Amino acid sequence: MQNMNNSTTYLQSQNRKPFIVGLGGPSCTGKSTLAKRLAARLGGKTISMESYYNDLSHLAASERPKCNFDAPEALDAALLDRHVSEFAQGRDIEVPIYDFANHIRTTGQHELLKSAPLLIVEGILVLYWPELRSNYDLSVYLEAPDDVCFQRRRVRDIVERQRSQEFIRQQYFDTVVPMAHQYVYPTKHYADTVIDASREISVVETELTAKISEAMQVKA
Predicted TM-score (pTM) of this structure:
0.88
Number of domains in the chain: 1
Gyration radius (Cα) of the chain, Å: 17
Lowest mean pLDDT among 66-75, 111-120, 142-151: 142-151
Q: Report the pLDDT value the prediction gives residue 44, as an integer from 0 to 100.
A: 97
Encode pLDDT of 76-92 as tens digits: 999 999 999 999 999 99
Residue 55 pLDDT class (50, 70, 90 cuts): very high
* String of DSSP letters for the chain: -HHHHHHHHHHHTTTPPPEEEEEE-STTSSHHHHHHHHHHHHT-EEEEGGGGBPP-TTS-TTTGGGS-TTSGGGB-HHHHHHHHHHHHTT--EEEEEEETTTTEEEEEEEEEE---SEEEEESTTTTT-HHHHTT-SEEEEEE--HHHHHHHHHHHHHHHH---HHHHHHHIIIIIHHHIIIIIGGGGGG-SEEEETTS-HHHHHHHHHHHHHHHHHHH-
Encode pLDDT of 168-180 as tens digits: 888 888 888 899 9
- The parent domain of residue 15 ranges over 2-219
Confidence check: pLDDT of 2 > 60: no
Q: Report the pLDDT value the prediction gives residue 199, as an integer from 0 to 100.
A: 93
Task: Give the mean model confidence (pLDDT) for residues 44-65.
Answer: 95
Q: CATH code at 85?
A: 3.40.50.300
